[in-house]
Amino acid sequence: MHTPASMVMGIVFAPLGLVLVFTAAITPQWREGRARLGMAGPGSFLRSGVKGQGMGVRSGSVEALLLLRSDGLWESCLQVEHSELKQCWPVAGPYQRDPRVRLTQGLVLTSLFLCGTGIVLACIGVRCWMDVPLRGVAATGGLLVVMSGLLSLTALGVYTHNLGRLGMADPSQGINNPRFPHLSLHPAGSLYFGWLGSCLQVLGGSALLFSSKRPRCPTCPSCPERPDCPACRSCTEMTNKPDTNVYEVSC
């Protein structure tokens, strides 16, 4: 079977977009923030933890550490930059309870489910092992993939728009704690994976939708009112032409 280029494009882009969105969902780098933590006291816990590893940075008479905080949908991490000291934990507190974070989680999970279902339908519809594709089934799968891409784009938009305010409802907890250094938050790598994957889902799903258009079969010059391909087999003007190969095409 000669698979249409739009089907090939859709069946390649849709799984690639699913992988990228799934990678973004499970990684904790949706937003990042760096802060310099001073260690003036000789008995500081962080100072004792990194003593001997050369991670202290002297600023005048006070040592400092550069901390990297990252948050994802289901996990947060804290790491001393340029070291192996890293601690991760499931999201909790105001950040976990933030309705915008919960909305993003729900949209991403729904997007992954719809995209997976759409890819299964698209594979059934393309039917590369058969002569005739099921264009309606492939188009249905493409519609689900487009919807999944739009849902993930919505989730990413909500998170990015509120990135600096997520989890800040309770000033006495979380990263806004006065005892913890202020973090200047910015988008991180997982967001970019998500944006790219969502765009690929929309492109792949749209290609599958466009593949639902049936190819136009040649008509018999003597029987223009019979557009179906079987008419070509009964048309003497087409079958009696020399050096002409006649193929049976099922539309």
Our count of domains for the chain comes to 2
Structure tokens, 115:
């995209």
Average pLDDT, the chain: 76
CATH number of the CATH domain containing 111: 1.20.140.150
The four Cα atoms 173, 176, 180, 181 give a dihedral, to 10 degrees, of 170
202 and 106 in one domain? yes
Do 146 and 73 lie in one domain? The reply is: yes
Residue 176 shares a structural domain with residue 62:
yes
Q: Are residues 85 and 131 in the same domain?
A: yes
250 shares a domain with 194: no
Supply the pTM of this predicted model. Answer: 0.71
Residue 59 has pLDDT above 70, yes or no: no
Name the DSSP class of 223.
B
Is the same domain home to 133 and 46? yes
Q: What percent of the chain has pLDDT over 70?
A: 64
Say whether both 206 and 224 belong to one domain: no
CB 230 within 8 A of CB 247: no
Task: Say whether both 206 and 247 belong to one domain.
Answer: no
Chain-centroid distance, C-alpha 139: 21
Adjacent-strand bridge partners of 59: 62
For the segment 228-233, the average pLDDT, to the nearest whole number, is 46
Q: Are residues 22 and 81 in the same domain?
A: yes
Phi, psi (deg, nearest 5) at residue 38: -75, 145
Look at the chain and count its residues: 251
- Rounded to the nearest angstrom, the gap between the alpha carbon of residue 1 and the centroid of all alpha carbons in its chain is 31
Range of the domain at 50: 5-210
Q: What residue spans of the chain are helical by DSSP H? A: 5-26, 45-50, 93-97, 99-126, 135-161, 189-210, 230-233, 236-239
The DSSP letter of residue 211 is T
Cβ distance 132 to 248 under 8 Å? no
Task: Label residues 110-129 b or e (16+ Cβ within 10 Å = b).
Answer: ebbebbbebbebbbebbbee
* Same domain flag for 105 and 223: no
Mean pLDDT of 33-51: 56
The answer to whether residues 116 and 34 belong to one domain is yes
| pLDDT value of residue 43 | 44
- 229 and 203 belong to one structural domain: no
What is the tens place of the pLDDT at every residue in 7-29?
A: 889 999 999 999 999 999 999 99
**The pLDDT of residue 154:** 96
> Which of the residue ranges 7-11, 80-84, 133-137, 154-158 would you say has the lowest mean pLDDT?
80-84
Last residue of a domain, one of 193, 210, 227: 210
